[in-house]
Amino acid sequence: MMIEVQPGAHRDRLLGVNQWRSRLGVAVQAQAQKGQANQAVISYLCEVLSQPNSSCSIVNGHTSRSKTVRFENIEHAELLGTLTRMLEEQ
């Protein structure tokens, strides 16, 4: 999944889908220093999806706001359904 990260936010949350870039926006409180924002993104997404942190990893974009995240042990339909539900509840 392709995401766009906003570090240094007031709270961790999903921002919605940027239709132009086809990326899910994710805001995290952690700063973009020494991998803190990357770890916060993984922790937050795994919390939202009720998955262990070991099931999620950043595979591309470690030093960029645009990242590619891989999820293990979760079906594509379940992933999309959960994220859609979370966005509607906000």
What pLDDT, in 10s, does the model give residues 46-69?
999 999 999 999 999 999 999 999
Q: Which residue's structure tokens are 């392709």?
A: 2
Structural domains of the chain ordered from first start: 2-89 (3.30.1200.10)
Alpha-carbon gap, residue 85 to 8, rounded angstroms? 25
End-to-end CA distance of the chain: 21
What pLDDT, in 10s, does the model give residues 23-44?
999 999 999 999 999 999 999 9
pLDDT at res. 80: 87
Query: Taking a C-beta distance cutoff of 8 angstroms, is the pair 1, 60 a contact?
Result: no
What residue type is 50 in one-letter code?
Answer: S
* Mean pLDDT, rounded, of the chain: 93
